[in-house]
């Protein structure tokens, strides 16, 4: 079950508009979160919970969901109230059961453009300067598994199921799944999943290293929040640097060790380093400002 708790959980009110998009694009968003047509958002303790909200279609990613995921990725990085984010799915059956198959119209669909757009949006989560974690509450198939893999790490409910069943449809994963599955679980296991269209349960995903923790369904969001509340106490610029450096391992255009040294140097110039050092020496908790 997804908690509907917080009063500030927001959904589309028909006002989703270019103004909102422009406010996000210009970085002028502050304090409030945007309203979306297919996403619910809730900001609590500086953690934005993003719930993909098409439970009757097992949260399949149609064009609107994809566009809004791109917008929310930008909102996460431009709203100073947000320090980290959770991506999850509405209802208790699915995180996301794939791209919306009803929108695949053979040669009328520009598959290359569809894939490029999905890849771009999922890169925005992977390259987010603020931590983004997937709370996988059920089926994470196709684009759902790809979305979860584009997050910085994953927590799963014991009911979660993962797979890349695209070959059943005459496709391969199109939103980075052929690459990230190999990165995360190794080539042999990834090849088996890709070629058999098989599904693995949460326990197997844990064993493979696809997810970091498995919880009871009712505890999934609480467990994910608990981890992010800890993360949110850390120095924001250092978090961003760690994400960039770790991502560089899989980016052939970047020399990871050189980037690490550069980022290490940049962190030395931050007020947060002075604060972290002072707090350690004074035996108190550091209060980081992200400067």
Rounded distance between C-alpha atoms, residue 126 and residue 177, angstroms: 13
Which entry of 68, 75, 126, 166 is annotated as an active-site residue? 166
Q: Which of 39, 48, 50, 60 touches ligand COA by CB under 6 A?
A: 60
Q: Would you say 154 and 174 are in contact if contact means Cβ atoms under 8 Å apart?
A: no
Contact between residue 154 and residue 125 where contact means Cβ atoms under 8 Å apart? no
Work out which of 102, 108, 112, 253 binds ligand COA, going by CB under 6 A.
Answer: 102
Enumerate the β-bridge partners of residue 88. Answer: 51
> What is the pattern of x (binds ligand COA, CB under 6 A) and - over residues 118-157?
---------------------x-xx---------------
Nearest C-alpha neighbor of 156 from the set 212, 198, 96, 225: 212
Q: Which is nearer to ligand COA, 33 or 59 (CB)?
A: 59
We find the least distance from the C-beta atom of residue 191 to ligand COA, in angstroms, to be: 18
Residue range at the interface with ligand COA (CB under 6 A); choices 9-17, 98-106, 179-187, 257-265: 98-106
When binding is defined by CB under 6 A, the residue of 52, 97, 132, 135 that contacts ligand COA is: 97
Query: Measured between alpha carbons, how far is 153 from 205 in angstroms, rounded to an integer?
Result: 12
User: What distance in Å separates the CA atoms of residue 111 and residue 246, rounded to the nearest whole number?
Assistant: 30
Give yes or no for residue 100 binding ligand COA (CB under 6 A): yes
**Residue 39 Cβ, how far from ligand COA at the closest point, in Å?**
17
| 8 A C-beta contact, residue 190 and residue 182 | yes
Plot region of 94 (φ>0 → left; ψ -120 to 50 → alpha; else → beta): beta
Select 199 or 279, whichever has its Cβ closest to ligand COA: 199
Residue choice 91, 98, 118, 177 for contact with ligand COA (CB under 6 A): 98
Is 192 known to be catalytic? Answer: no
Q: Which residues within the stretch 18-57 sit at the binding site for ligand COA (CB under 6 A)? A: 57
Instruction: Closer to ligand COA by CB, 43 or 60: give it.
Output: 60
Q: Is 146 tagged catalytic? A: yes
* Residues involved in catalysis: 146, 166
- List residues binding ligand COA (CB under 6 A): 57-58, 60, 97-102, 139, 141-142, 165-166, 168-169
């Amino acid at each position: 079950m997804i908690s509907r708790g917080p009063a500030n959980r927001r959904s589309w009110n028909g006002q989703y508009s270019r103004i909102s998009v422009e406010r996000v694009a210009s970085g002028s968003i502050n304090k409030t979160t945007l309203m979306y047509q297919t996403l619910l958002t809730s900001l609590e303790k500086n953690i934005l919970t993003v719930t993909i909200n098409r439970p009757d279609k097992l949260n399949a990613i149609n064009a609107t969901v994809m566009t809004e995921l791109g917008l929310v990725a930008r909102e996460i990085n431009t709203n100073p109230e947000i320090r980290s984010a959770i991506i999850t799915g509405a209802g208790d059956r699915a995180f996301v059961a794939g791209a919306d198959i009803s929108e695949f119209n053979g040669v009328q669909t520009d598959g290359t453009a569809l894939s490029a757009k999905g890849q771009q949006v999922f890169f925005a989560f992977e390259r987010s300067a603020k931590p983004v974690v997937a709370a996988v509450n059920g089926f994470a198939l196709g684009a759902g598994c790809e979305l979860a893999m584009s997050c910085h790490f994953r927590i799963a409910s014991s009911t979660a199921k993962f797979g890349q069943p695209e070959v059943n449809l005459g496709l391969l994963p199109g939103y980075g799944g052929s690459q990230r599955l190999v990165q995360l679980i190794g080539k042999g296991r990834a090849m088996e999943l890709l070629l058999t269209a098989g599904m693995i349960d949460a326990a197997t995903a844990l064993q493979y290293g696809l997810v970091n923790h498995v919880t009871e369904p009712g505890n999934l969001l609480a467990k994910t929040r608990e981890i992010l509340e800890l993360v949110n106490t850390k120095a924001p610029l250092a978090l961003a640097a760690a994400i960039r450096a770790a991502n560089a391992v899989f980016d052939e255009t970047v020399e990871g060790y050189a980037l690490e040294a550069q980022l290490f140097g940049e962190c030395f110039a931050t007020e947060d380093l002075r604060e972290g050092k002072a707090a350690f020496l004074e035996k108190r908790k550091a209060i980081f400002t992200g400067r």
